[in-house]
Amino acid sequence: QLIFLDGQLVKKEDAKISVYDHGLLYGDGIFEGIRVYNGNVFRLKEHLIRLYESAKSILLTIPYTIEEITEIVLKTIRANELQSAYIRLVVTRGVGDLGIDPFACKNASVIVIAEPLNLFPPELYETGIKIVSASSRRNRSDVISPKTKSLNYLNNVLVKIEANLAGVPEALMMNTDGYVAEGSADNIFIVKGNELITPPGYIGALEGITRNAVLEVACKKGYDAKEGVFTRHDVYVADEVFLTGTAAEVIAVIEVDGRQIGTGIPGTITNKILAGFREIVETDGTK
């Protein structure tokens, strides 16, 4: 396996960064998770726009243009001869000293890892998943914008720990006002009648690329799909619930905190959205 690290492709064993990298010392950096379907990098441009916006927000200079990063991502996929893959693109503040001052870091570090996929087991798409709500809260959006996909994932890690302890694959994160924000690494949609609702960014949700694609798919299929603020109660009484994310794609939720959702199997609308999503990933990409 070859990994792009600071200008070159190196073997996995040789892909090492300094213990003085502020990505490690302070979680000072940003990242993207991107999928490749049949050689098509799904919505690479959108991922890179989000990456550059995250960088701008934390005053981090990425040492490449968007065109150069596009080439680097494609080159890394080709070097590993992957048709279907998960890409992790990380930009850290780079090497500094032990002080927190990011201006001590002269060069950001750019890492691209391309791996064969590690998805939820296929049967979970047939059965749907059970989830719980976590006690950890999403950062307030006036502190660090949820639009910044930063390396500070401790909230999300704590949420994932709560999911693990409950024996389920994912858990829901509320914001500090108690509104539903998202999962540890996925966005959430609830379906009520003909309406699909997902929390807006300011509630504390990342503006997921999959979430945005699902909003488009749903509108094209004639559903009323929109952003809206809701609580756990609304999740419990929804007709259908599903999660979206680059790794998870679209996955039905059939139980939340012991409350069965709808009839306890993946809903008709969720299945239609998953099918619609799987159609667009085949074509909507960069080769």
Q: Is 251 in the site for ligand PLP (CB under 6 A)?
A: no
CA dihedral 180, 184, 187, 190 (to 10 degrees): -50
If the CB atoms of residues 87 and 206 are measured against ligand PLP, the closer one turns out to be 206
Rounded least distance, CB 279 to ligand PLP, Å: 17
Residue where the block lists tokens 């893959």: 85
Which range touches ligand PLP (CB under 6 A), out of 52-60, 125-133, 205-213, 276-284? 205-213
- Give residue number: closest CB to ligand PLP: 208
Q: Is 169 in the site for ligand PLP (CB under 6 A)?
A: no
Rounded least distance, CB 212 to ligand PLP, Å: 8
Q: Is 206 in the site for ligand PLP (CB under 6 A)?
A: yes
Q: Is 162 in the site for ligand PLP (CB under 6 A)?
A: no
CB 246 within 8 A of CB 35: yes
- Give residues with Cβ within 8 angstroms of 200, minimum separation 6: 227, 228, 229
Neighbouring C-alpha atoms within 13 Å toward the C-beta of 125: 15
149 is catalytic: yes
If the CB atoms of residues 33 and 102 are measured against ligand PLP, the closer one turns out to be 33
- Give residues with Cβ within 8 angstroms of 44, minimum separation 6: 34, 70, 73, 285, 286
Q: Is 201 in the site for ligand PLP (CB under 6 A)?
A: no
Q: Per the residue annotation, which of 149, 192, 226, 272 is the catalytic one? A: 149
Closest CA to 89 of 23, 14, 173, 25: 23
Q: Is 131 in the site for ligand PLP (CB under 6 A)?
A: no
Helix or strand run (H / E) with residue 246: none
- Across the chain, the runs of DSSP E, i.e. the strands, are 2-5, 8-11, 29-37, 40-42, 85-92, 109-115, 129-138, 170-175, 180-183, 187-192, 195-198, 224-227, 240-245, 249-256, 259-260, 285-286
269: left (phi over 0), alpha (psi -120 to 50) or beta: alpha
Binding ligand PLP (rule: CB under 6 A), the pick from 27, 33, 39, 102 is: 33
Closest CA to 97 of 17, 22, 26: 22
Rounded least distance, CB 248 to ligand PLP, Å: 8
Q: Is 91 in the site for ligand PLP (CB under 6 A)?
A: no
Q: Is 170 in the site for ligand PLP (CB under 6 A)?
A: no
Rounded least distance, CB 6 to ligand PLP, Å: 23
Residue where the block lists tokens 């996995």: 12
Q: Is 139 in the site for ligand PLP (CB under 6 A)?
A: no
Which range touches ligand PLP (CB under 6 A), out of 8-16, 18-26, 97-105, 240-248? 240-248
Q: Is 246 in the site for ligand PLP (CB under 6 A)?
A: yes
Rounded least distance, CB 112 to ligand PLP, Å: 16
Q: Is 186 in the site for ligand PLP (CB under 6 A)?
A: yes
Q: Is 210 in the site for ligand PLP (CB under 6 A)?
A: yes
Number of Cβ within a 10 Å radius of residue 271: 17
Q: Is 145 in the site for ligand PLP (CB under 6 A)?
A: no
Q: Please identify every residue annotated as catalytic.
A: 149
